[in-house]
Structure 1
Amino acid sequence: MINTEWYSIRTLTLPATAVALLMAFVIVWLILRMQFPKKWSGVYADAILTFILVWKFSVIVTDAKTIMAQPFALLYFNGGTVGVLLAAIAVSLQLLWKKQKLKFDSIGASAYSWAIILTQSIYQWLVVLLNVNPTNSEIITLAVLSVLTILILWKISAIDHALLVYTSGLIIVASFQPLGLWQPAVGISVILLIVGLQLQLFVKKFETKDGC
């Protein structure tokens, strides 16, 4: 979706997409806190913090000249699209690096799937509501992701490849949006899918070893 609106929070002005993402983070954290052991909402909170910090300070990489000339620009700028992708990669590496320490089990894998699916769906819903884009793309986004999210989360224990199914659906939805497949959400979805598949393999090995 294309960002068409900006919102002011005191002296801070944010694009609707950033507002949608922050709101999605809070909502999903609350859902995880209620649905899963406290440990997993804490892991999600850590991932959110890493994402925000990398996204915010990645401007040092994406626009080093400006930051060197005006250091205070760090307070107002971020890494943009490249920063979002770098943040997603940083979170992915963090989870993979800590998977042993976190002792990911089947519950943890389910929490991961819930977190990724809900974050992306709620973010997309809010982007549609907060911006003005072509009506047909908005209707397709709301309808397809709503049905897909409900069906997958309802049957998540019976679907080993929930993230694969969801990511495939999200890519189809993205193809009907103004920016098409060339938007950060698609790249992030693929990255998080790969991480999810790696965590599923880890869980299977962990449970097999524990069973032995």
Structure 2
Amino acid sequence: MPVTKVFLLGNFTMLSSWVALIIAFVIAYSAVRIRYGKKQGAYLLDLYFYIVIIWKLSVIITDFSSVIRSPLSIFYFHGGTVGFYLGLAFVMGKIVVDWKKERPTIADPIALLTAAIVSQVVYQVMMVVLNEGELVAQVVTVSAFMSFAILFWFSIRKADSWPLQLTFIFMAVHVFVSAFQPKGFSETPFITTLLIGLFFTAVLMMKNSESQRTEEQL
């Protein structure tokens, strides 16, 4: 959904997308901590921190000339969409390294998939609540994502094959919703869903493969 509103906090201007993202992070963290425990919640907070820091500091890459002219600009500007993708790429790499090194005790793929999906669902719903837009697009967005969220929450632990299937459904739902949204398939949230979906597809396939090898050895 497009940003149509901004919020003023003193001299600070906050886009509705930032508000939606903050709310999404808080709810996703709460969901993970409640369902998977304190350790997984703490790990998720670390990942969020890395994304924000890299997004903020990546202005050095995206607008190097401005930073050279005015070094203090690093405190006021950020790396935009490119910076966000850099942060996302970093945490994806960290998840794989941590999971390979420490197994699911720290970087549990299921808990992190839950966080990613809850974040996207809440973000999409809040963007509808906070901004103006076409009624059809708003209804489709909220109904599709909320229906999937309910399905996901009650199905994620049913069987080893369900997380992978739900990841495919997650991407399919966003493809469907994007067909009704103004910017269609070029929106950053949609591209993010595809990246996250493909990433967790690969991770879950590796996880299932290792589980099968372990069972065969037993």
TM-score between both structures, scaled by the size of structure 1: 0.91
- The yes-or-no answer on 1:124 pairing with 2:124 is yes
**Residues 150-159 or 138-147, more deviating:** 150-159
**Structure 2 alignment gaps of length 5 or more:** none
- TM-superposed CA distance for 1:170, in Å, is 1.0
Return closer, same or farther for 1:43/1:202 CA change in 2, 3 Å cut-off.
farther
- TM-superposed CA distance for 1:210, in Å, is 4.2
* Corresponding letter in the other structure for 1:192: I
- Rounded Cα–Cα distance in structure 1 between residues aligned with 2:32 and 2:63: 36
* Contact 1:89 1:191 (C-alpha < 8 Å) held by counterparts: no
- Rounded Cα–Cα distance in structure 2 between residues aligned with 1:100 and 1:10: 46
- TM-superposed CA distance for 1:123, in Å, is 0.6
* Contact 1:104 1:202 (C-alpha < 8 Å) held by counterparts: no
1:99-135 Cα shifts (integer Å, max 9, x gaps): 1123127x92321221111010001111111111222
Matched with 2:8 is 8
1:180-202 Cα shifts (integer Å, max 9, x gaps): 11011122111111221222123
- TM-superposed CA distance for 1:209, in Å, is 4.6
Aligned-residue sequence identity (percent) comes to: 24
Q: What are the within-5 Å matches in structure 2 for residues 107-146 of structure 1?
A: 108-146=108-146
- Rounded Cα–Cα distance in structure 2 between residues aligned with 1:133 and 1:87: 29
Q: What are the within-5 Å matches in structure 2 for residues 1-212 of structure 1?
A: 1-104=1-104, 108-158=108-158, 159=162, 160-211=164-215, 212=217
Return closer, same or farther for 1:170/1:102 CA change in 2, 3 Å cut-off.
farther
SS at match of 2:186: coil
- Rounded Cα–Cα distance in structure 2 between residues aligned with 1:175 and 1:62: 30
RMSD: 1.8
1:34-72 Cα shifts (integer Å, max 9, x gaps): 111222112211110111111111111111111111111
* Contact 2:99 2:108 (C-alpha < 8 Å) held by counterparts: no
* Corresponding letter in the other structure for 1:134: E
* Contact 1:104 1:199 (C-alpha < 8 Å) held by counterparts: no
TM-score between both structures, scaled by the size of structure 2: 0.89
SS at match of 1:103: helix
- Rounded Cα–Cα distance in structure 2 between residues aligned with 1:95 and 1:176: 33
* Contact 1:167 1:189 (C-alpha < 8 Å) held by counterparts: yes
1:18-39 Cα shifts (integer Å, max 9, x gaps): 1111111111111111111222
SS at match of 1:187: helix
Return closer, same or farther for 1:179/1:36 CA change in 2, 3 Å cut-off.
same
- Rounded Cα–Cα distance in structure 2 between residues aligned with 1:134 and 1:57: 35
Give the paired residue count.
211
- Rounded Cα–Cα distance in structure 2 between residues aligned with 1:171 and 1:59: 30
Deviating above 6 A after TM superposition, structure 1's stretches of 4 or more consecutive aligned residues are none
* Corresponding letter in the other structure for 1:61: I
